[in-house]
Amino acid sequence: MAADKVQEPEVNLALALEHGLNEEEFEMIKTRLGRVPTFTELGVYSVMWSEHCSYKNSIVELKKLPREGEHLLVGAGEENAGLVDIGDGLGCAFKIESHNHPSAIEPYQGAATGVGGIHRDIFTMGARPVASLNSLRFGSLENPRVRYLLDGVVRGIGDYGNSFGIPVIGGEVCFDESYEGNPLVNAMSIGLVEAGKTVSAISKGIGNPVIIVGASTGRDGIHGATFASEEISEESEAKRPSVQVGDPFTEKLLLEASLEVLKTGAVVGMQDMGAAGIACSTSEMTAKGEQGMLVDLDKVPAREAGMTAYELLLSESQERMLIVAEKGREQEVIDVYEKWDLHGVVIGEVVDTDRVTYMKDGEVKADIPAEHLVLGGGAPQYIRETKRPAYLDEVQSFDVNSVDHPIDHAGTIKKLLNSPNIASKKWVHEQYDTTVRTNTVTPPGVSDSGVIRVKGTNRGLVAKTDCNGRYVYLNPRRGGQIAVVESARNVVCSGGRPLAITNCLNFGNPYKPEVYYTFKEALNGMGDACKALNTPVTGGNVSFYNENPNSAIFPSPIIGMLGLIEDVENHTTTPDFKKEGDAVLYIGADRKGLGGTEYLKVVHGLTTGDAPELDINFEVKLQNSLLDAIKAGFITAAHDLSDGGLSIALAEMAIFGKLGANITVNGLSGSQHEVLFSEAQSGVIITVDQKDVDTCLAHFKNAGVPVIALGEVNGTKLVIEGMAELDVEEMTEIHENVIPKAMEA
Active centre residues (catalytic): 52, 99
Cα separation, 26 vs 116, whole angstroms: 33
Cα separation, 610 vs 477, whole angstroms: 11
Rounded to 10 deg, the angle between the 144-164 and 728-744 helix axes is: 100
* Contact of 345 with 297, CB cutoff 8 Å: no
From the number of C-beta atoms within 10 Å of its C-beta (0-12, 13-18, 19+), residue 451 rates as buried
* Contact of 475 with 522, CB cutoff 8 Å: no
What is the per-residue burial (b if ≥16 Cβ within 10 Å, else e) of 515-537?
bbbbbbbbbbbbbbbbebbbbbb
Cα separation, 541 vs 117, whole angstroms: 13
- Tell me how crowded residue 56 is: count the other CB atoms within 10 A of its CB: 21
**DSSP three-state, residue 659:** coil
Cα separation, 279 vs 45, whole angstroms: 9
Cα separation, 651 vs 646, whole angstroms: 9
- Which of 45, 2, 33, 1 has its CA nearest to residue 360? 1
Q: Which DSSP string do the residues of 474-515 spell out, in sequence order?
A: H-HHHHHHHHHHHHHHHHHHTTPEEEEEEEEEE-S-TTSHHH
Cα separation, 537 vs 67, whole angstroms: 5
CA distances from 470 to 573, 668, 719 (A): 28, 26, 30
Secondary structure E strands in 231-342: 267-272, 292-296, 320-325
CA distances from 667 to 675, 706, 707, 708 (A): 10, 11, 10, 6
CA distances from 62 to 67, 211, 246, 504 (A): 10, 33, 30, 12
Measured in degrees and rounded to the nearest 5, phi and psi for residue 402 equal -80, -5
Q: Which DSSP string do the residues of 692-708 spell out, in sequence order?
A: GHHHHHHHHHHTT--EE
* Contact of 612 with 677, CB cutoff 8 Å: no
- Mapping DSSP onto H, E and C, the string for 561-607 reads EEEEECCHHHHCCCCCCCCCCCEEEEEECCCCCCCCCHHHHHHHCCC
* Contact of 151 with 183, CB cutoff 8 Å: no
Cα separation, 42 vs 29, whole angstroms: 9
**DSSP three-state, residue 397:** coil
* Contact of 189 with 165, CB cutoff 8 Å: no
* Contact of 541 with 98, CB cutoff 8 Å: yes
**DSSP three-state, residue 328:** coil
* Contact of 583 with 690, CB cutoff 8 Å: yes
